Amino acid sequence: MARLNKIPMSNVPAATLDRRQAVPALLERHADFLIVAGLAGTAQELSALTHESPGVFGLGGAMGASLSMGLGLALAQPKRRVLIVTGDGELLMNVGALATIALQNPPNLKVVCVDNGHYGETGNQDSHTGLGVQLDVIARGSGFPVVHTINTDADIEEGRRLLRQETGLAFILLRVMEGPPNKVRRNLVPHVERDRFRAALLG
Amino acid sequence: MAESGWADALYDLLRANGVTQFGYVPDAGHRVLIDRSLADPDAHSIPLTTEEEGVALAAGADLGGQKAVLLMQSSGVGNCINMLSLTAGCRFPFLTIVSMRGDFGEGNAWQFPMGQAVEPVLKAMGVVVLRCDGPQDVIPTATAALTMAFQSGQSVAILLGQRLLGAKKF
């Protein structure tokens, strides 16, 4: 049987948080942000959390889009807080976008990665982070000026503060256990999502 | 028009039409546009690690009410294909300017597979393809493309052919 190299994770504690509580606790008031949510779990939980608010653009495909979409939005709307919420698998698909974002350094942009170490949508295969790849270290090396890792409830308060600090790009790694996100029946007609978001923001 | 005067005129045209986000993976054919965007205090000059980032960047710019353009070499088109499902499905306007390799007079065999596939794969993803083969083509073509993308909401690629850019010598 083929085996993957499990990278030693001695400095990383086992995940203990349940995303169904941790994500709402971290975001607190979603209406404070314009949000781009990566496909699958994070788009589902953001739709559930916000009752499909028009301030959330949730991807249903185009894996790897969330970071760059959030960058374009943040540059276009410098007076609004822009938040990207995505999973480890989606982020890994275009991990170079972390470097692209850091070179722009938009002070109104924050990135939250909900890292469950698995591809939850496709059969729960281990993702690279589940085998020891550390996205917080990659974000730091990519040039993010502020990186915060949430392993326990006690780490959430600092994350909440960073999401609302007035100036400064930040990356928050929210490490959660395997398990389903909160879900709601989403509208998956892509152009409706675009039209709704733009109409609410731009009139 | 002077030998590369079209490139400066193209930058001015894009800016006059409200394009403020310039995403790119560098290529010699885009040198003037990239340098102009870097020197422009009112534009965002955004180097990408892979071209598909630029497709998603343009979608995010549109969500926020700005206009973007993606500058890339023909080899980068292949890196964008699935990401164009974002553009097509959500009906985002999309404008890209593609400097061609594997085209007229190309001397590097490595460039042909993707260079020759650029038009069919873009069309397969619903992108309208316009070509420029001489300096006189550039401004009329870009003017048309700007209208098609940002007024009609289409995805449009302007291909800058090697008759215009010159084939790279090896």
ipTM rounded to 2 decimals: 0.95
Per the CB < 8 A criterion, the answer to whether B51 and B77 are in contact is yes
Distances (CA, A) of A59 to A40, A41, A64, A188: 8, 10, 10, 9
Written as six digits, the tokens of A147 are: 């990186």
Residue B61 to residue A73, Cβ atoms within 8 A: yes
Among B residues 51-110, those touching chain A with beta carbons less than 8 Å apart? 52-66, 68, 82-83, 85-86, 89-92
Beta bridge partners of A172: A112, A148
Inside any domain, residue B90: yes
The distance between the two most distant Cα atoms of chain A, rounded to a whole number of Å, is: 57
Q: Which chain B residue's Cα is nearest to A100? A: B48
Task: Determine whether the interchain pair B66/A67 forms a contact, defined as Cβ–Cβ distance below 8 Å.
Answer: no
Q: Looking at the domain assignment, is residue B82 inside a domain?
A: yes
CB contact under 8 A, A72 and B21: yes
Q: Which domain holds residue B30?
A: 5-165
Architecture per CATH, domain A19-202, reads as 3-Layer(aba) Sandwich (3.40)
* Chain A environment of B25 (Cβ under 8 Å): none
pLDDT, position A1:
54
R_g over Cα of chain B? 15
The domain ranges of chain A are 19-202
Dihedral-angle region of residue A179 (phi above 0 means left; psi in -120 to 50 means alpha; beta otherwise)? left
Pick A75's closest partner by Cβ from B44, B53, B59.
B44
**Residues 27-46 in B contacting A (C-alpha not used; CB under 8 Å):** 44, 46
Counting the structural domains of chain B, the total is 1
From chain A, the residues in CB contact with B20 under 8 A are 76
Kindly report, residue by residue over A124-140, the tens digit of the pLDDT: 889 999 999 999 999 99
Confidence band (pLDDT; 50, 70, 90) for B3? low
A51 HSE (CA, 13 A, CB side): 2
Q: How does the average pLDDT of chain B come out, rounded?
A: 95
Q: Order of strands across the sheet with A56-58? A: A56-58, A34-37, A82-87, A109-115, A170-175, A146-150
Quickly tell me which residue has 């180097």 as its tokens: B47
Per-residue pLDDT, averaged over A28-33, amounts to 91
Contact residues for A89 (Cβ-Cβ < 8 A; gap 6+):
A40, A63, A118, A119, A127
Tell me the whole-structure pTM to 2 decimals. 0.95
Residue B1 has pLDDT above 50, yes or no: no
Query: And the tokens for B131?
Result: 């070509």
Instruction: Classify residue A154 as exposed, middle or buried by CB count within 10 Å of its CB (0-12, 13-18, 19+).
Output: exposed
- Return d(Cα B99, Cα B55) in angstroms, integer: 16
Residue that the structure tokens 């998603």 belong to: B56
Query: For B116-159, how does the pLDDT look when each residue is reduced to its tens digit (9 = 90+)?
Result: 999 999 999 999 999 999 999 999 999 999 999 999 999 999 99
The answer to the question of residue B170 being in a domain is no
pLDDT of residue B23 exceeding 80, the answer is yes
CATH code of B26's domain: 3.40.50.970
- B22: exposed, middle or buried (Cβ count in 10 Å: 0-12, 13-18, 19+): buried
* Exposure on the CB side of residue A66, measured as CA atoms within 13 A: 35
